[in-house]
Amino acid sequence: MGCHRRNLCRILRWKIRLKINLLLYSHDWFPSVGGVQTVTLALATGFAEWGKTHPGDSIEVVFITQTPANGMDDSKFPFPVLRRPSKRELLRCIRSADILHVAGPALLPLLMARLVGTPAVVEHHGYHSVCPNGLLLYAPDHTICPGHFMAGRYAKCLQCNGRDLGWIASLRNLVSTFPRRWLCERAAGNIAVSNHLAGRIALPRTRTIYHGIENATAAPQDPAPSGTTPLRIGYAGRLVQEKGLPTLLGAMKHLASAAIPFHLAFIGDGSQHAELEASVRHLGLQDRVTFTGELHGSDFTAALQQIQVLVMPSEWEETAGVAAIEQMMRGAVVVAADIGGLSEVVGDAGLTFPATDSAALAARLQQIYQTPSLLNSLGTAARSRATQLFNLHSMIEQHVRLYQEVIAR
């Protein structure tokens, strides 16, 4: 009965005016850096400032994460941040919220919301509701998983994660996927960040809401590369296996053999850093490749501004690709693997190549070098597509409409 009374109060408050008490949960958050962190920060900020552009309305947002601050000053955010709460604190926050928004299907908050009757919306940034490792990548041979978990081939799931995680951790991941899927099927709403992802997770009450970012100033158009002027190529993101970075280095070797001048910058860090540096030395590309390490704020922006072509060579089915969207918004050219939500994001405003095919990637880059007008034409098309589809205000408004529907329902 108590749950019904709370839900009735939520509906009546929304009928009078838009007033939502929102709890936004992301297990991993700043100071860790990634696409999920970027998008959830933009969402929380937009919700906290909703009343400025919608007089009489308000969205009270509290952000909860299990990531320690490690020196970060949370007071700079326009919303309160609660880090590593106790289970009792977390339950109290969920009970008092009108809506729980979970970035990724985290088990504990979803279970608590289910128990106390708080409607939960799950925003899916990966495949954790259909795959124990969340990547839909079969680790033993690094191929796209055909869907072993959903097909009931659980031994394959154990084999997939056993080598890297150990059998106990692999079994734990497998077992936890069952309640995670069950809770997502019963969530008040599921959000996919691309149509591709929506099809893959196949959950009820799912809608696609694309990532939105700030409408950045378009980068000034550079002189086209010619003669000995190098084509400035970059990768931005985590240096991890599923990102297909050996394919990128293989393409650089093809360009070097074709006497195409270039410079490649790896912007980011990760477990594959040392291996990639060793490959660069083995290929004799030390003078053409640099590693910036992990960058933040203005340093990260400055590094991106030095790039003419961003390459996204992923070998897993990227759900969206925030780095690609950011570069498209500033009018830079994106060359992406034709896989998952990544090719959906790029559309016809960039160039694509078959995943893992370094020769095809090199051919795309050589095409840009030999047809300099592509830098401007594709850059203009990329910015136009980004401003239309990946608009920050549209992303926030679509989330608010979903919350309204959930409360009314």
Selected residue with higher pLDDT from 363 and 296: 363
Interatomic CA distance for residues 46 and 56, integer angstroms: 16
In a domain, 245, yes or no: yes
Bridge partners of residue 189, in order along the sequence: 121
- DSSP element (H, E) containing 53: helix 50-53
Token digits of residue 38: 């970027």
Tell me what pLDDT residue 384 has. 96
Average pLDDT over residues 268-296: 96
pLDDT band at 5 (very low <50, low <70, confident <90, very high): low
What is the amino acid identity at position 2? G
- DSSP element (H, E) containing 174: helix 167-185
Selected residue with higher pLDDT from 375 and 5: 375
pLDDT digits (tens, 9 = 90+) for 136-173: 999 888 899 999 999 999 999 999 988 888 999 999 99
> Are 133 and 176 part of one and the same domain?
yes
pLDDT at 10 over 60: no
> Are 370 and 402 part of one and the same domain?
no
Using the CB atoms, write b or e for 251-262: b if 16+ within 10 Å: bbbbbbeeebeb
Average pLDDT over residues 203-217: 91
pLDDT at 225 over 90: no
> Are 302 and 345 part of one and the same domain?
yes
What is the amino acid identity at position 392? L
CA dihedral 67, 73, 78, 84 (to 10 degrees): 30
> Are 136 and 252 part of one and the same domain?
no
Q: Which domain holds residue 135?
A: 2-212+391-408
Tell me what pLDDT residue 368 has. 96
Please name which of 117, 149, 118, 146 lies closest in space to residue 133, comparing C-alpha atoms: 149
In a domain, 309, yes or no: yes
Phi-psi region of 78 (alpha: psi -120 to 50; beta: other; left: phi over 0): alpha
**Number of domains composing the chain:** 2
In a domain, 221, yes or no: no
- The percentage of residues in the chain with a pLDDT greater than 70, rounded to a whole number, is 93
In a domain, 281, yes or no: yes
> Are 109 and 236 part of one and the same domain?
no
> Are 318 and 395 part of one and the same domain?
no
In a domain, 225, yes or no: no
pLDDT digits (tens, 9 = 90+) for 83-119: 999 999 999 999 999 999 999 999 999 999 999 999 9
> Are 395 and 384 part of one and the same domain?
no
CATH code of the domain containing 283? 3.40.50.2000
> Are 151 and 294 part of one and the same domain?
no
In a domain, 67, yes or no: yes
pLDDT band at 14 (very low <50, low <70, confident <90, very high): very low
pLDDT band at 18 (very low <50, low <70, confident <90, very high): confident
Tell me what pLDDT residue 8 has. 53
> Are 206 and 58 part of one and the same domain?
yes
